[in-house]
Structures are given as structure tokens and as C-alpha cells.
Structure 1
Amino acid sequence: MIPGAKPAPGYAFPEALSAPVKAISGYRRLWVALSGGLDSTLLLHLAALCHPGVRAVHINHQLQANAGETEDFCRELCAGLAVPLVVQPVSVKRGAGPGEGLEEGARKARYKAFEALLESGDILLMAHHSDDQAETVLFRMFRGSGVAGLAGMPESRPLGAGRLARPLLCFERSELEHYAHRAGLSWVDDPSNSDQRFDRNFLRLSILPALKGRWPGLNQRLRYSAGACSESDFLNQQLAELQWQVLGAHRRRLPVAGLSALSLAEQKNLLRWWIRRSGYQPPSISNWSQILHDLLQAAEDRSPELRADGFSLRRFQGELHLVSEMDALPEEPVTLEPGETVDWGEWTIRLIPGSTAKTDVPPIRICTRQGGERIRFYASGPSKLLKKWLQEKAVPPWQRGRLPLIFGDVEGEKDLIAIGDLWCSERYCGSAPAAGWRLIVERDCD
């Protein structure tokens, strides 16, 4: 056991501090995000006292010289409290500069690890406090965030399959430090917290103290403003959902005519809500008005597009489409063998025997469009250019180049026998296909 693994003999945390932690309920497993610093160390003690079976998770970013020392401290602390600990090392992608890029990379790596850890019914406690909230609101304000960003950090929100909760959000750091010293606790300081090249450290060390000196009770003022922004954001979301329902309630498409009938403010609000609802983060751009004009007002023969992190917005035949970033396709043709499944982007392709399956397996090859392909719907019928057929079928342009084209042996010649999940030759479909084998082409419609 290390010094400070448990509060000093005879010391009891005040009820006002313990109450928000005790109020956490309805979980299957309760986790504490343990960095080894003052705030999370205090939170771990509170959680271990208030709840049985608490677990801890330490994310080792492998960035600081004392990262190993901090990990050892967390292990010993948890051993002294009889709290199971999961240590998760992560690799942080550095940004272009030494400041915000590294901060944001560490945050993303940390939350990605948390999401992978949490299961349904789990709650992860994080030790953010009132000073963190003030810092977040100011940071987002300087970055140009709207009301959703200025609402600050919520006390609770979904995270992965579980939830995140911040029971210390109403306490100032000075209060937590006072309680930790009174309890005789030990912790490890992160040396990077004094590096003012990082934006948040600059705010914490240089800006917030000056603001608090000028305006006492600053944290409470900012907390009030954040609450007002949170209420405004809630109403904005309610409005967006109502308008989305009126426009058809499709997850991945919005009618351009319906969008155009809304005011510019409503268009922006609905689009941001729709993007978040689909699991993505709306891009932080200042020219939303111009983007919307390009997407909604461009001539019909144009194909405007907005690329963002993990998705893009595209317009096609009177609708705005939200298109997920897609995995790369095989560069070379792939042979389809019976009993095997070929993963082709968002498609899976199988070949299974029909009721009259033959011993010999017809050679079947999968590839993408190369240009000039023709489709023949019946053996004795005329052929048609695939390009023209896809246009007639109103297949969006970004999907045409990804369609798996499946070629087989038809009467001794290689011929197109299936086009994604759009069409399959009668020789390879139905309960008794003429070729003896049946093609199964399924698409993930997410």
C-alpha cells in the first residue's frame, strides 16, 4: 500500500462532496477514469467508498517522461483500495503544431479507448469540475462554437455502449484540492499541464485567473450561461426533429425542395442535427450559408459536395445525401468460390448450390466498372450499355464505381450475370437456377 491509498485515519469526506457520487445508480458496472492526478484520484476514493465493485481504467498516452511512473502509481493506488484496474496504452496522432493538435489527438485516443471498454449498462465516472467547465466554454467560444458547443460538458451523456457521468462538475478545483489535502491523499502531477503552448493550459494558467480576479464567481456565471445554451440547444434539436419528420424522416436523405422552403437558420439547424443523428460531427466551418447555397441552389447538372470527417454531403436528383466514408475496394478482380464469402466494400457475395447443382463450379469473377460494359437481361435479348442502365435506374454517381460486377460463364462466354444487389441473371437466381448455383449479393444499407 502506498501513502495516501486511503484517507487519513479518522477523516470522513463531507456529505456534500460524497452525495453526487452516491447518487449514481442503475449501472451494471461502474468505472472511474483514473489519470493519477488530483481530481481523478479523489473521485476514485469517493467512488470506492460509496459503491461496491468499482473498477478503474487508466489510459497511458505514452507522451510524458513520467508516463510509466504515473501508471505504476495508478496500479499501486488501486491495489491499496482493492479496485480492479485496466491499463490501456494508446497511440496519439500528433497534429501539425505542438499545441491543439496534440491535445485533440490525445483526447480522441482516450475517448476511443473508453468507448471500446464500455458495455451496455456500464457507467464511466470522469472527474471534470467547475474550472474544467469554465475552461471548456471559453475555449469553445474562442474557437467560434455555436450554442451546442457553448453548452459545455453535460453531466451525463452516452459513450459507446454505456454512459459517461461527471459527478464533480459543480465543484471548483480549489475545493477538491482542499478535500484531498485534508484527507492526506497523494497524486501525480502531469508536467505537460504547465506547458502554455497548449491552448487549454494557456486559458487555465494565464486567462482564467485574470478573469476571476476581475469577476468573482466567474465559474458560476459561465455555468449559468452554459445552462442557457444547453436549453437553447435542446429546443433547436426538438425543432429539427419535427422538421425532419415533416421532410420524410429518412436517415440518409433530405429533399432539397423541403430544405429550401425553410429559413437559412432552420436549414443550418436541421443539417447539423441530422449529421449528429447519423453519428458524425458537423464540420466547424464559418461559411455554412455559402455551403448551403451551393448544395441547394446549384443547377441540376451540377454535383455539389461537402467533404467532412468520415462522411460527405452530396446532391442527386433533388435530394441531399449523407454518404459515409467508404472502405477501399480490391484493386484486382476476385474469384468467387462456393462456400466462401467475398467482402466487397459494403457488399457481401456468396455462391451456394441450388437444387440442381452441378459438380463443376462455373468460373465467376468479381470486379468494378472499367467502362464499356454491356448488360443482357435475356440470353436471346438485346444488350444495353451498363452506364446508361445505371443512369436509368437512378443509381447515384458515387455508388456506380463501387458496384460489384459479377461475370460468369454463360454458354461458353464470359458475361455479366449480376450487378451488385440491383440485378441478377435468371441463371443464378431463384430456387432452381439454370446454372445450378445461386448468387447471394447482400448490401449493408447503413
Structure 2
Amino acid sequence: MANPPLISDLAQQAPPGPLLLAFSGGLDSTVLLHLLVEAGLGPRLRVVHINHQLQPDSGDWAEHCQQIVAGLELPCEVIAVQVEAGKGIEAGARQARYHALFADAHRDGATVITAHHRDDQAETLLLRLLRGAGVQGLAAMRGLDHRQEIAVWRPLLDQPRSVLERHAHEQGLQWQDDPSNQDQSLRRNYLRHSILPALRQRWRGADEILARTAQHMGDARELLDERAQQDADACGVSSQRFPLPGLAALGPPRQRNLLRWWLHRRGASAPSAAVLAELLALQDAAQDSQARVEWGNWAVRLFQGALYLLPRHALAPWQGELLWSADSPPPTLPFWRLATMAEEGGVSLMRPPGDLTLRPFTGGARLLRNGMHQRIKELWRAAGVPPWQRHQWPLLYRGETLVSVPLVGLADGEEAASCEEWFLLPHSS
């Protein structure tokens, strides 16, 4: 394997800031871990092992990972996840893994690093082709991508697995082989062990050819994404809100392309053709409709002629009560987070001084403004706040007195000059 050149390339290509390696303890991630350290990236690197808890010896596997990483004098965090039943082992494990990785990366804005290589490109292309995927699904994995506001770096995509294996043997590296990788009841393993070897025997350079096809699809995806961005600007689409009226000016292929692009940008799982048709049919719904379409862990809600995407669990109202002491960090909310810097989709919340309590909205809540007790429900309705968000935003109380409401402002008697402005921002999905 190109020892000095590859190590040099890693150092030059590495994104700025903290780095977070997804470390399984297998061949690929073990090679990448050592290359990153040799490239001088260790001081910026954190290592995370995701324990899917699918095998009896998963604890031993996690311990092996910690020992390998400790030998390089790096921190290694083990995160245990629960794989949802009913999704299939492969899909459920992948979803749980990435959810945990992205949540961890959000702590310090780290770039997630994975050890995908050229063979993975070929396998992924065939899997998605057999699922009937379109251009977006067939496009090659990007060397540097962004998902759910987190950068994902795949520095080994141009390297075949055989090169990684040769390098590991030459360097005397130790790794563990996951026994589940031999289970051909799993589709990817069946392709890896039964289909791809036959293709390689019949077509020389099959992996490279498939990877090249995926790259061609990637070029086509870039063009479709550019077209979608132009259509999004023309239709007034934002990350949080998808107005439907502008779609009428687009033909069906551009409508589907724009909607797929918006969902992908928000980190949602790709909808099936049937779900996409349901979403586009919402153009014909009544203006006051609050229809919804659900698939997987996602839901799209219709409100005032626009679509809103949210995780299905976020449809539930927030319940509880949280103390926000003076000079203390804000408490953790289930669906939104409090920050001092504004971002797209953020909602202003003025914080008066002193100890405050965060409580959920109730239909009868009123705020004293301009000498009148005004109903929060009516104020938010006039501002176009969707109903489900009204039950997720906190109201600020001093004792039993409502003193501040998101988007609306302060109660009479509260001085804006003595308040801090915070912003409610939606959690990444």
C-alpha cells in the first residue's frame, strides 16, 4: 500500500477540527486507525466503537477495540446501541450506528470518519440496483459528505480491500473478523461471497468498473442537485419548510427531484416511490388540512400549504418541568435545544434574569402584553407556528407568572435590556 504517499494524502485531505473515527476492530478500520495516527492526526482524533449487542461476544469485541486504541495512546469510547426489531439486522444496525455516531459528533462538531473502500462501493451499487434505486441511490459514496449537519469523511474509497489487507499483513496489524460477515443470509454478505467473486472471474476489473459506474451516477446526482437547488430557491423552500404552491410550475420529474433532494438534505431516509407519490398528492389537500405521511422513522406534516419534516417521535408533545437557574447552562429539551447563536430555523426566546422554570404550553396559557392577557395559542397561530411545535416549545415562568414566550416576547414589566436572547433550534434528526 502506498505507505508515505497515502499517509501524506491523509494529512493533506483531513478536514479541519476534531475527528471521530468509527472503529469496528475489523481489518478496514484497523488499517485506517493506524494510518491516521501515522499521518500525525492523533491529537485531533477520537475513536468510537459501536456495540450493537447482536452477538454473545460483543463485549469481548469492544474490549479488543479499547486495547488496540489504548496502545496508540488515544481515547476510545464504547457506545452500546439497541437495534430495532422489524427493520432487518443490516438496516437496523446501520441506523442505530449512525444515530449514535452523529449524536456523539455533535458534542464538538467532529467530522465522522469511516473506513469504506472501493469494494464497498461495488457492493452498495449492486444492492441498491436490486432495490430499484434511482440516480441518488446509485451514486457513489462521496469522499467527503455531509449528513445531519455532520461531515462524513471516507478517505479510503479509492483503495480496494486487497490493498488494505496486504498493508495490514506487512505492518503486522491485529484485527478481528466479525463472524456475522460469513452469514450469507444477509444480502451484502451474499453479494460479497457469492456474486462478486463470479463477476470478477468473468469480468476483469469488475469492482473498478462498478465503482466507475457509481461515479458516473455521482456526476448525474450533482447535476440533479444543482437543478433542485435552483428550483428550491424559486419555490421558497428552506431547510425547515417546503411550500407546495411553487411545485405547480414544475413538471413531475422536477417535482420528484426537488422533494427527494429536500428530504435527503434533512437527513431523512429515502422514501419509496409510493411514499413520494403520497407526498406530492398533498398539493391537492385543502389549505386547512393537517395531513401527514409517514415512513420508517419519519413523518411529513402539512400545515398552511407547506410541508414540514420531523422524526415520528417528535410528533408527541413535550411534558414535564425544568429548572433554569441563573448563571447556569440551559436544561436539555427533548425536541429542541437552546443556543446563544441564531441559525436557520431558530426561534428567539428572551430570558429574563433570575431562576426560571420551563413548562410546556397548554391551550389556556396567556401572556400579559400591553395591559391585556393574550392567549398564546392565538399569537402563535397568527405567526404560523405549526400545532405540534406549539406543544414542544417551552414557556418561561418566574414562580407562577409567565414571563417569556418563544417568538412572541416578554410579558409586561420585563425589561428587554436586562434579558439575554437565546434561540430554540431543532435537534438534528
Asked if 2 retains the 8 angstrom alpha-carbon contact of 1:88 and 1:113, the reply is no
After superposition, the Cα gap between the structure-2 partners of 1:99 and 1:157, relative to the gap in structure 1 and judged at 3 Å, is same
Give the equivalent residue in structure 2 for 1:35: 24
Q: Which residues in structure 2 correspond to 1:246-265 (within 5 Å)?
A: 246-248=234-236, 250-265=238-253
Give the equivalent residue in structure 1 for 2:217: 229
| In structure 1, distance between residues paired with 2:63 and 2:396 | 56
| In structure 2, distance between residues paired with 1:397 and 1:52 | 47
Alignment counterpart, residue 78 of structure 2, candidates 66, 88, 91: 88
Give the equivalent residue in structure 2 for 1:22: 8
1:169 Cα shift?
2.3
Give the equivalent residue in structure 1 for 2:424: 444
Asked if 2 retains the 8 angstrom alpha-carbon contact of 1:283 and 1:309, the reply is no
Q: Which moved more, 1:312-321 or 1:195-204?
A: 312-321
Asked if 2 retains the 8 angstrom alpha-carbon contact of 1:243 and 1:270, the reply is yes
Q: Which residues in structure 2 correspond to 1:169-180 (within 5 Å)?
A: 169-180=157-168
After superposition, the Cα gap between the structure-2 partners of 1:297 and 1:51, relative to the gap in structure 1 and judged at 3 Å, is same
CA radius of gyration, larger in = 1
Q: Which amino acid aligns with 1:133?
A: Q
Asked if 2 retains the 8 angstrom alpha-carbon contact of 1:407 and 1:418, the reply is yes
Q: Which amino acid aligns with 2:28?
A: D
Give the equivalent residue in structure 2 for 1:145: 133
Alignment counterpart, residue 228 of structure 2, candidates 223, 237, 240: 240
Q: Which residues in structure 2 correspond to 1:61-100 (within 5 Å)?
A: 61=51, 62-78=53-69, 82-96=72-86, 99-100=89-90
Matched, 1:291 2:261: no
1:199 Cα shift?
2.3
Asked if 2 retains the 8 angstrom alpha-carbon contact of 1:114 and 1:160, the reply is no
Q: Which amino acid aligns with 1:444?
A: L
Q: Which residues in structure 2 correspond to 1:322-361 (within 5 Å)?
A: 322=309, 325=314, 328-330=317-319, 352=353
Give the equivalent residue in structure 2 for 1:10: none
Alignment counterpart, residue 206 of structure 2, candidates 218, 222, 229: 218
Give the equivalent residue in structure 2 for 1:304: 291
1:200 Cα shift?
1.7
Structure 2: which 5+ residue stretches go unaligned? Answer: 337-346
Q: Which amino acid aligns with 1:304?
A: A
1:98 Cα shift?
5.9
After superposition, the Cα gap between the structure-2 partners of 1:339 and 1:20, relative to the gap in structure 1 and judged at 3 Å, is closer
| In structure 1, distance between residues paired with 2:232 and 2:250 | 11
Structure 1: which 5+ residue stretches go unaligned? Answer: 1-13, 354-360, 433-437
Q: Which residues in structure 2 correspond to 1:176-191 (within 5 Å)?
A: 176-191=164-179
3-state SS, counterpart of residue 231 of structure 1: helix
Matched, 1:107 2:87: no
Alpha-carbon deviations, 1:394-436, whole Å to 9, x = none? 5544345557678999xxxx999876543766x445579xxxx
Asked if 2 retains the 8 angstrom alpha-carbon contact of 1:155 and 1:165, the reply is yes
3-state SS, counterpart of residue 287 of structure 1: helix
| In structure 1, distance between residues paired with 2:318 and 2:5 | 54
| In structure 2, distance between residues paired with 1:389 and 1:163 | 38
1:193 Cα shift?
1.2
Alignment counterpart, residue 128 of structure 1, candidates 97, 116, 126: 116
1:59 Cα shift?
0.7
3-state SS, counterpart of residue 197 of structure 1: coil
Alignment counterpart, residue 203 of structure 1, candidates 184, 191, 213: 191
| In structure 2, distance between residues paired with 1:29 and 1:171 | 24
Alpha-carbon deviations, 1:185-235, whole Å to 9, x = none? 443221111122322222212222233233332111111110011111111
| In structure 2, distance between residues paired with 1:179 and 1:29 | 26
| In structure 1, distance between residues paired with 2:104 and 2:324 | 39
3-state SS, counterpart of residue 142 of structure 2: coil
Alpha-carbon deviations, 1:81-134, whole Å to 9, x = none? x442414232232422663345325533563476257x45x6665332222211
1:337 Cα shift?
9.9
Matched, 1:422 2:422: no
Asked if 1 retains the 8 angstrom alpha-carbon contact of 2:316 and 2:388, the reply is no
Asked if 2 retains the 8 angstrom alpha-carbon contact of 1:369 and 1:405, the reply is no
After superposition, the Cα gap between the structure-2 partners of 1:187 and 1:429, relative to the gap in structure 1 and judged at 3 Å, is closer
3-state SS, counterpart of residue 301 of structure 2: strand
Q: Which amino acid aligns with 1:243?
A: D
1:319 Cα shift?
3.1
Alpha-carbon deviations, 1:223-268, whole Å to 9, x = none? 1110011111111111111122222353323332212211111112
1:44 Cα shift?
3.6
Q: CA RMSD in A?
A: 4.5
| In structure 2, distance between residues paired with 1:300 and 1:285 | 25
Asked if 1 retains the 8 angstrom alpha-carbon contact of 2:358 and 2:394, the reply is no
| In structure 2, distance between residues paired with 1:374 and 1:105 | 42
After superposition, the Cα gap between the structure-2 partners of 1:309 and 1:280, relative to the gap in structure 1 and judged at 3 Å, is farther
Q: Which amino acid aligns with 2:80?
A: V
Asked if 2 retains the 8 angstrom alpha-carbon contact of 1:212 and 1:218, the reply is yes
Q: Which amino acid aligns with 1:422?
A: V
| In structure 2, distance between residues paired with 1:214 and 1:370 | 68
Asked if 1 retains the 8 angstrom alpha-carbon contact of 2:24 and 2:49, the reply is yes
Alpha-carbon deviations, 1:299-338, whole Å to 9, x = none? 3343322235666433333333445636742368x99999
